[in-house]
């Protein structure tokens, strides 16, 4: 087994459409066997499909897991769940991209499992529990801060009742666990959009910043990964910080990487970087041997 994996996430192409050809150029230079895009490309399905179609030309295989922004409801979709289960897999198939989210995908002897993930507030800064209450997280609002998923994500249960964040996360964790049970001890990469470990979140230790940590992911995703017998690597997104964590699981040590592009204000205005420099830094490669 030798698979060279390219990875990135959080393209947010509406903010800088020129990011797509820059990523294609970068991935070709890296010479990867498979490109992973761990979510947040666009909330517009036509824009998402066009971006994935263009990115697909950069590598022999490409895998995509939806991020929360990709699941935002617009006029062209009945629910976020419909996007996840039907519309995004269909557009991925048209683009020649493997959609991860419901079943494992095999590339070069490696099993790729994944889900969007979601959040249950377990990655929050618990030292600020006296400042941010459970009700605040459930509403997705504190002071002037608003978590936009609350207005733009709808995930109905089979009976039509609307699921809350914890229930959405329940379903995603269960789906990941089923995939990991299916692949068993075979070499495995797990791809999620949301974070599986608090070590990958960025805390400033103060409000209002750390309110957002409650929506970063779920420690239950990490627990499922630790139990996976064949896990070699995790890839995720959502945070716009580049992070790497080393963890111990049932099958031995594994690494989890985030390498997002993010928004222009984060790399241009704050860091003075060009988009080309950001792409060179945030489209990376890992070789599994």
pLDDT digits (tens, 9 = 90+) for 99-125: 999 999 999 999 999 999 999 999 999
Mean per-residue pLDDT for 47-72?
98
- The owner of tokens 């509406």 is 14
Give the pLDDT score at 1: 74
Residue 289's pLDDT band, with cuts at 50, 70 and 90, is confident
Give the pLDDT score at 77: 73
Does the domain at residues 3-288 carry the CATH identifier 3.60.21.10? Answer: yes
- Helices assigned H by DSSP within the chain: 19-30, 45-56, 80-82, 88-95, 134-139, 149-152, 165-183, 219-227, 264, 275-282
* % of the chain at pLDDT higher than 70: 99
Give the pLDDT score at 25: 98
In the predicted structure, residue 75 carries a pLDDT above the cut 80: no
Give the pLDDT score at 165: 98
Mean per-residue pLDDT for 235-239?
98
Give the pLDDT score at 138: 98
Give the pLDDT score at 76: 65
The helix/strand/coil state of 105 is strand
Whether the full predicted model's pTM is greater than 0.75, yes or no, is yes
Give the pLDDT score at 17: 98
DSSP label at residue 9: B
HSE of 245, CA atoms in CB hemisphere, 13 A: 19
Domain parsing of the chain, residue ranges: 3-288
Mean of pLDDT over the chain: 97
């Amino acid at each position: 087994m030798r698979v060279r994996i390219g990875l990135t996430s959080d393209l947010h192409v509406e903010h800088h459409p020129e990011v797509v050809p820059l990523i294609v150029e970068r991935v070709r230079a890296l010479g990867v066997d498979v490109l992973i895009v761990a979510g947040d490309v666009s909330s517009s399905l036509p824009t998402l499909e066009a971006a994935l179609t263009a990115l697909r030309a950069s590598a022999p295989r490409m895998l995509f897991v939806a991020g929360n922004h990709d699941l935002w409801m617009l006029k062209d979709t009945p629910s976020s769940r419909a996007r996840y289960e039907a519309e995004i897999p269909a557009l991925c198939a048209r683009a020649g991209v493997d959609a991860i989210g419901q079943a494992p995908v095999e590339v070069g002897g490696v099993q790729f499992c994944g889900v969007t993930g979601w959040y249950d507030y377990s990655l929050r800064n618990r030292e600020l529990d006296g400042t941010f209450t459970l009700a605040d997280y459930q509403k997705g609002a504190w002071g002037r801060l608003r978590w936009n998923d609350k207005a733009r994500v709808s995930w109905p249960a089979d009976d039509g009742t609307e699921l809350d964040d914890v229930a959405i996360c329940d379903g995603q964790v269960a789906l990941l666990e089923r995939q990991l049970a299916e692949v068993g001890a075979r070499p495995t990469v797990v791809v999620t959009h949301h974070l599986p470990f608090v070590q990958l979140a960025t805390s400033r230790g103060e409000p209002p910043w750390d309110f957002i940590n409650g929506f970063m992911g779920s420690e239950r995703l990490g627990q499922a990964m630790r139990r996976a017998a064949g896990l070699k690597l995790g890839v995720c997104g959502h945070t716009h910080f580049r992070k790497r964590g080393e963890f111990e699981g049932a099958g031995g040590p594994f690494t989890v990487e985030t390498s997002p592009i993010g928004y222009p204000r984060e790399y241009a205005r704050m860091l003075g970087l060009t988009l080309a420099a950001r792409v060179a830094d945030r489209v990376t490669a890992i070789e599994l041997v």
